[in-house]
Amino acid sequence: MAASELIQRHAQAWRAATAHPFLDGVRDGDLPDGAFAAWLQQDHIFISDLLAFQAQLLARSPRSAQKVLAAGLVALEAELTWFEENSVRDGLPLGAAPHPTTEAYRTEFERLLTEPFGAGVTGLWALERAYLEAWRGAAPGAPRYREYVEHWTVPEFADYVAGLEVHAQDSGAAEAAWLRVVDLERKFWDLALASR
């Protein structure tokens, strides 16, 4: 079975991870003050953790998955640079303490590295596909957020997500990983509205 069938089989969980009041606020421009900045601070920490996770996943990947994972690492490093440049431009400090949800994601990455490669790459595909679909749903974004929405919906990112899907699986361990990650994606949107 194709990994994409996980989305249909768990449609409610998928909707919760990809359609959220935070994203509606980005699209409509009515986010509460501070919510987007709080989310960005946590996303910066998350991207740093994701980079470390993906480097370790690449180190244990089969040859067939190395190209897409290596390209993803290069993109994540560029993403961190972009975050840091924007934070200086916008006066947003990036040294915030990790939110409990950000810490939970870090713990999930550690867990995925103890599981078979198929579960790890399926978890990675789940978070990246959810991220892509969520930002597509927020497009074009209110003017103050449009640069971010456009950045996270470029065709190159969609191609990367499609490349990961080739290696994702629909098996017991992979499905469990997918469900945990999708739940964390929903909680990550929640944290922005709770942090203000």
User: Does residue 48 fall inside a structural domain?
Assistant: yes
Average pLDDT for 122-139: 97
Please report how many Cα atoms fall inside a 13 Å half-sphere around the Cα of residue 188, on the Cβ side.
Answer: 27
User: Does residue 164 fall inside a structural domain?
Assistant: yes
Q: What is the pLDDT at residue 94?
A: 87
Whole-prediction pTM: 0.95
Coil vs helix vs strand at 148: helix
DSSP codes, 14-82: HHHHHS-HHHHHHHHT-PPTTHHHHHHHHHHHHHHHHHHHHHHHHHTS-HHHHHHHHHHHHHHHHHHHH
User: Does residue 17 fall inside a structural domain?
Assistant: no
Q: How far apart are CA 23 and CA 6, in angstroms?
A: 23
Q: Which residue range forms the structural domain that includes residue 150?
A: 32-194
Q: How far apart are CA 90 and CA 44, in angstroms?
A: 14
Domain CATH for 98:
1.20.910.10
**Per-residue pLDDT tens for 54-106?**
999 999 999 999 999 999 999 999 999 998 999 988 888 888 899 999 999 99
User: Does residue 15 fall inside a structural domain?
Assistant: no
Domain count, the chain: 1
**Per-residue pLDDT tens for 103-112?**
999 999 999 9
User: Does residue 3 fall inside a structural domain?
Assistant: no
User: Does residue 13 fall inside a structural domain?
Assistant: no
